[in-house]
Structure 1
């Protein structure tokens, strides 16, 4: 079903056109309103003119040209040529297979008769040519000269030019949207690459400190470090299920628990229905890391990090609170984690997120609110 996704715009437009063709192909009786039937001949001719010919002569060649060339000028120039060819093919069809005038509009002309109300008796202005919109495919009442063929080909070409311009405009909008999405993904990747060395540096610092105190405990740290990175690199999506994010956090907390021992406690409150919600990868991890570095790490007696998740209207609310020592010197750090998190949130959710912090005498909390979205891959 990949081709449905690839050509969904054109398929949708042509389904809409076919619906309109089917509507005008009904034989309506307006007094009283009823449908007498479907003019199958009209349906076939209109479908060939408005759907089949532009698909074969304009859409498919332009699709091939767009794949091989990124030049917009070449596409428009080639499109004009293809529209002329489609106009000639359409006019040829009406003068051979179908009947002249089987298109949505027809050209009529000739010489006015004496009985016509607007007949000019001086004989100077009795030639005429008219352009009419018609739902009839009966053809012309009078014999046609070659000029009618060229006029029809020209007018049909103008119609196909409109089709071509609509297609190229739609393609341009889609292409621009794809470029924006690709750029966003590249920006997210860059931020992810920035976060990995920062995360690696902080974790290795913990292990280095333990090597001088207890080698066996340092080995435990290395095992947790291995599990932590294995889980992190196995999940390369920019958004993961909350359950996976919490598993990553638990590995990190085990690693830090060895270092801080009884100084570090965690109070985790997460409803089971929230575990399938999508969150930015390493978002809660970043908040916990910040709470340990600037909170627990600055208090000799340690404290408890409170992590709570809840649904609020159409938002997922994540709150991380930690005790602080207001008299202690602020811990050194590049602040890469929080700045990185805010930048990623802006790319993922634009303005549809909030991140607020609140500080009291002995407590600091950060609340993150993001749109509710389920992880469909995990269901």
Structure 2
């Protein structure tokens, strides 16, 4: 026993104390009542029955009964109830008979006669009490096992999710890096000044966005800093063919979003929209808040062909990361808008 009683012992003492008090109450209301005998009965009841059930607990733990499923457990505890009921009969009958010897002044009936008259009632009472105790004990352990199983399952799911998110993020970093290097490659011979500026921008991209940590969520402000560097880098390649706009409320700068989410949409807009048109076009980024959700919209000139599935790494990656992070509370849609505009829309809960 520790200095502080465990939950098990608190329940043991409380349960058997309530039972002993009930028996004492029936004795008081049933006629003559001896206070000394009542106290002795109370103490011995709590001690004896706590010992019986505690011995059963040790036996069950030693043989792994608390880890069994319902059916194999029932095959063991049903016989155990009868064994405990018999032990209860022996202990209770012996205790009552001894107390009568000590406290009764007149003749005392023999022990065999006492068992014959009272044995069945005591045995049935023992069966009932031990059934209640075993049911409560094993139901508690079954509930605890389910809680542990649920926690372990949740822990494994979180670990798996985090591993998948880290893997997806690791895919994006070199993806963005290689695209940026291709831009520099296109500039280095014909426009060395622009290439040098592109290298500076790539350095900023690496420093501010790609390798600043493993955080899944970053602020809108940090994400847009990365996006603006990327857009300026692409502007060096496309020159007047690329323009861009950002529209949002300043109150949204601290909202946390998936790292490289806007960047992925912008990259997709340039790859499938701007680069495929001789005249280029404008990339528009809009952020708005409504009913606790942040809507990110990136628009570019072009047209979606419903017959051709979108299989690019960036969009597929972003969809999976949204699902892993927000479950069904976030979504990503690509839509054809009027006047030859394609919209990529992400909607996420504001946390």
Query: What is the TM-score normalised by the length of structure 1?
Result: 0.58
210, 213, 235: which one aligns with 1:257: 235
Confirm whether residue 76 of structure 1 aligns to residue 67 of structure 2: yes
Q: 1:131 to 1:259 in 2, by over 3 A?
A: farther
- CA contact 2:304–2:335 (8 Å) conserved in 1: no
Q: Which residue of 2 aligns with 1:191?
A: 168
Q: Which residue of 2 aligns with 1:210?
A: 187
295, 298, 302: which one aligns with 1:320: 298
Residue 74 of structure 1: CA displacement? 10
215, 224, 240: which one aligns with 1:237: 215
Q: Which residue of 2 aligns with 1:339?
A: 316
Q: Which residue of 2 aligns with 1:126?
A: 118
Q: 1:154 to 1:275 in 2, by over 3 A?
A: same
255, 274, 286: which one aligns with 1:308: 286
Aligned residue pairs, count: 265
SS, match of residue 279 in structure 2: coil
Q: Which residue of 2 aligns with 1:357?
A: 334
Q: Which structure is higher in strand share?
A: 1
SS, match of residue 298 in structure 1: coil
SS, match of residue 147 in structure 2: helix
Confirm whether residue 273 of structure 1 aligns to residue 251 of structure 2: yes
Q: Deviations over 1:163-205 (max 9, x none)?
A: 3333222111101100000011111122122222322221111
Q: Which residue of 1 aligns with 2:82?
A: none
SS, match of residue 275 in structure 2: helix
Q: What are the equivalent positions in structure 2 for 1:284-299 lying under 5 Å apart?
A: 284-299=262-277
Q: Deviations over 1:91-117 (max 9, x none)?
A: xxxxxxxxxx9xxxxx9557899xxxx
- CA contact 1:241–1:275 (8 Å) conserved in 2: yes
Q: Which has the higher Rg, Structure 1 or Structure 2?
A: 2
SS, match of residue 235 in structure 1: coil
Residue 156 of structure 1: CA displacement? 6.0
SS, match of residue 332 in structure 2: strand
- CA contact 1:298–1:325 (8 Å) conserved in 2: no
- CA contact 2:285–2:299 (8 Å) conserved in 1: yes
Q: Which structure is higher in helix share?
A: 2
Confirm whether residue 179 of structure 1 aligns to residue 156 of structure 2: yes
Q: 1:122 to 1:196 in 2, by over 3 A?
A: closer
Q: 1:236 to 1:326 in 2, by over 3 A?
A: closer
Q: Which residue of 1 aligns with 2:201?
A: 224
Q: Deviations over 1:244-296 (max 9, x none)?
A: 11111111112112212232222111212212212111111011011111112
Q: 2: distance between equivalents of 1:308 and 1:246? A: 11
Q: Deviations over 1:301-346 (max 9, x none)?
A: 332211111112121111111122799xx9xx97111111111111
Q: What are the equivalent positions in structure 2 for 1:145-164 lying under 5 Å apart?
A: 159-164=136-141
Query: What is the TM-score normalised by the length of structure 2?
Result: 0.63
Q: 1: distance between equivalents of 2:65 and 2:205? A: 52
Q: 1:215 to 1:169 in 2, by over 3 A?
A: same
* Structure 1 residues without counterparts, runs of 5 or longer: 1-12, 26-41, 63-72, 81-100, 102-106, 114-120, 133-147, 374-379
